[in-house]
Structure 1
Amino acid sequence: MSRRIPVGNIEDLLPGQRKLVFVDGRSIVLFNIEGTLHAIDNSCPHNGASLASGQLDGCMLRCPAHGLRFDVRTGCMPGPGGLSVGTFLVQAVDGKLELDVEEPSPASAPAPMCKA
């Protein structure tokens, strides 16, 4: 089951900006790419490096530690298979940013592999 968490105001995330938020002990990066909002886990599945400062090229985010690239829309690496980061629905509602977060499960599973 998911719940909606307020994480700021829309003015905090203008086009071209990113914002780091902490929800339930998780670090999550929000992006505004040409007016479309995206949110991903701030931890690279390869070695746990922070993705927040990674280089963004369109919708592709490069991990600053080892250069792995992830599509912030899907969380997947380009090409068939590969690692993925968790994604979240983020939206602007009445000028506020709201993030949909799944309730934690007893045994947290790693992000699934992306399919070809």
Structure 2
Amino acid sequence: MNGQGDEHFIPVARLGELDERGRAVVRVGEEEVALVRVDGRLHAVQQACPHRGGPLSEGDQDGCLLYCPLHAWAFDVRTGASPTNPGARVRIYAVRVIGDEIQVAASSRLRAP
């Protein structure tokens, strides 16, 4: 996602801090946010699954779908929507990379299109 308009981005990590799967967990204000790389592009989603609070960053991934490791609820990292549980969703955040610095929008949460 590209930062646009009045978004206020804050640095949260460096590219070298992503694990071998292209993931990391960072803090944005009071919330833990999972960074997930898909096809070379970074996405930022809330870390806790809304079902039972499972750590999404530790779940399996299939393309843009990230699965909760507790009960396999799937979430699309691009939209936050769950294709397997209608009505369930996770928050997503705008993310950008400047040089090797990963920045996440702190001023607002994105809504799914």
Q: Which TM-score band (shorter chain)? A: 0.7 to 0.9
TM-score (norm. length: structure 2): 0.80
Structure 1 counterpart of 2:79, one-letter code: T
How many Å apart are 1:68 and its aligned residue?
Answer: 0.7
TM-score (norm. length: structure 1): 0.78
Deviation by residue 1:59-78 (Cα, 9 ceiling, x = unmatched) = 11111111110011111011
Partner of 1:29: 34
Q: How many residues align?
A: 108
Whether 1:100 and 2:105 are equivalent positions in the alignment is yes
Whether 1:50 and 2:55 are equivalent positions in the alignment is yes
Paired residues of 2:73 and 2:85 also in contact (CA < 8 A): no
Paired residues of 1:55 and 1:63 also in contact (CA < 8 A): yes
Structure 2 counterpart of 1:6, one-letter code: P
- Which of 83, 93, 105 does residue 88 from structure 1 map onto? 93
Closer, same or farther in 2 for the Cα pair 1:15/1:33, shift >3 Å? farther
Paired residues of 2:74 and 2:84 also in contact (CA < 8 A): no
Instruction: Please give the alpha-carbon distance, in whole angstroms, between the structure 1 residues aligned to 2:70 and 2:20.
Output: 25
Listed as ranges, the gaps of 5+ residues in structure 1 are 105-111
Instruction: Please give the alpha-carbon distance, in whole angstroms, between the structure 2 residues aligned to 1:45 and 1:79.
Output: 14
Aligned-residue CA RMSD (Å): 2.7
How many Å apart are 1:12 and its aligned residue?
Answer: 2.6
Closer, same or farther in 2 for the Cα pair 1:80/1:57, shift >3 Å? closer
Structure 1 counterpart of 2:25, one-letter code: L
How many Å apart are 1:10 and its aligned residue?
Answer: 2.3
Paired residues of 2:45 and 2:90 also in contact (CA < 8 A): yes
Task: Tell me which structure has the larger Cα radius of gyration.
Answer: 1
Equivalent residue of 1:52, what SS?
Answer: helix
Runs of 4+ in 1 over 3 A off after TM superposition: 13-16
Partner of 1:8: 13
Identity of aligned residues (%): 33
